[in-house]
Amino acid sequence: MNERTRSWIESAGDPDGDFPIENLPLGVFERDDAEAPRIGVPIGEQVLDLREAWENGFLGGLSGSLGRTLEASSLNDLASLGRSASGELRGVLTTLLSDESSPLRTSDQRDRILLPASAIDSCLPFSIGDYTDFYASENHATNVGRMFRPDGDPLLPNWKHLPVGYHGRASSVVESGRPIRRPSGQTVGPDGPPPKHGPCRLLDYELEVGFFLGRSSELGTPIPIEQALDHVFGLVLVNDWSARDIQKWEYQPLGPFNAKNFGTTISPWVVTLDALEPFMVAGPPRKADDPATLPYLTSDQDVAIDLELEVLIQSADMRTRGMAPHRISIGNYRDMYWTIAQMVAHHTSTGCDLRSGDMMASGTVSGPDEENRGCLLERTWRGENPISLPDGTERRFLLDGDEVVIRGWCRNDGLRIGFGECRGIITPALG
């Protein structure tokens, strides 16, 4: 094991913390004494205000064009410069926060530049132009197929030939902690049509991993799979809330619409690919009887990410009684069938262009075992096997007042980096 870099910020040395100096993710936050949101980096239990650090000369090693992007209120401009720029920033920050003689360590401006994480409010990290959601887990797609097509092949004929996806609603992507209102929509009862309009009864979460695009591409020019990760800025945790009863009625013939457009929650800090490199593993293996992957989706350099995940639920009663959220699912992003590079290559194979700040997500992350199922639809098998919570109640689907918490982390050789939390509480439908 290589000797680790150490930060002079004591809390960054917590072996169970999410934000050691090897992580240095980026995000956007609000502070009480500033009018506009700021770009920041969490380090231990503090957040470094990059605008303050830049304007006060603590990031002097950066090029001017890169430094000026730190004055913005989103990561779009910074990410558009590509991975070399974020790598340059990462190097300067590592020196600033690890060097015992760092000028910031003893500066009288330190308390203005390094803020307690508990004192800031996180915002969306990007101005999101487009959002695409995939369906990249074979375990999830197989489970859903078995539920709804018990007499046929659980996977549709195209599923192992291409990363299936749909275009989501960017305007309803929200930051962690913002409440999610229960949607209303058209649903049908067990006897079928005619439909009724009213509050969703089968509200679900979906455990997903998302990624933001950095460097843009040109309309009409596909991105080769070997170059796909050059366009990816970093990863976040995603909860793509789903209204299952609305979805069941509306999804044919064109797929998800109102059942998915009312809210998608993401974690606040974007973990860069540079930070994730130690946790990249060989791309997922294919079974002997799987079809050959087409050349534009094939690369012997493709990778998956060994990212551990968990989902917890805390009911309103549990919060009142001071009971901690209860874990109901664990998973790992390395179990996905389709990789990030394959999603990018397929998305752009028609010549579709990508822009800085575009967001893509994996679809539900599910593994081979029951405890690895990444949504309540699977976890309770359409409500047939409810989950017991510590307050004595059961869940088939989410109730008003329930909070869903998603956490994720990577670890090996004594190093652990985390993503923070992706949280959201369900509030009652209007009317």
Secondary structure, 3-state, the chain:
CCCCCCCCCHHHHCCCCCCCCCCCCEEEEECCCCCCCEEEEEECCEEEEHHHHHHCCCCCCCCHHHHHHCCCCCCHHHHHCCHHHHHHHHHHHHHHHHCCCCHHHHCCCHHHHEEEHHHCEEECCCCCCCEEEECCCHHHHHHHHHHHCCCCCCCCCCCCCCCCEEECCHHHEEECCCCEECCEEEEEECCEEEEEEEECCCEECCEEEEEEECCCCCCCCCCCHHHHHHHEEEEEEEEECEEHHHHHHHCCCCCCCCCCCCCEEECCCEEEHHHHHHHEEECCCCCCCCCCCCHHHCCCCCEEECCEEEEEEECHHHHHCCCCCEEEEEEEHHHCCCCHHHHHHHHCCCCCCCCCCCEEECCCCCCCCHHHCCCHHHHCCCCCCCEECCCCCEECCCCCCCEEEEEEEEEECCEEEEEEEEEEEEECCCC
pLDDT value for 2: 57
Token pair 């009312």 in the structure block, residue: 262
**CATH architecture of the domain formed by 131-427:** Alpha-Beta Complex (3.90)
Going residue by residue through the chain, which has 431 residues, state the pLDDT in tens, using 9 for 90 and above: 457 889 999 999 999 999 999 999 999 999 988 889 999 999 999 999 999 999 999 998 899 999 999 999 999 999 999 999 999 999 999 999 998 999 999 999 999 999 999 999 999 999 999 999 999 999 999 999 999 888 889 999 999 999 999 999 999 999 999 999 999 999 999 888 999 999 999 999 999 999 999 999 999 999 999 999 999 999 999 999 999 999 999 998 888 999 999 999 999 999 999 999 999 999 888 999 999 999 999 999 999 999 999 999 999 999 999 999 999 999 999 999 999 999 999 999 999 999 999 999 999 999 999 999 999 999 999 999 999 999 999 999 999 999 999 999 999 999 999 999 999 999 999 97
10-123: CATH topology is SH3 type barrels. (2.30.30)
Judge whether 140 counts as a catalytic residue. yes
Q: Where are the domains of the chain?
A: 10-123, 131-427
pLDDT value for 1: 44
pLDDT value for 341: 98
Task: Catalytic residue, from 140, 231, 346, 347: name it.
Answer: 140
Q: Alpha-carbon distance 200 to 243, whole Å?
A: 6
pLDDT value for 150: 87
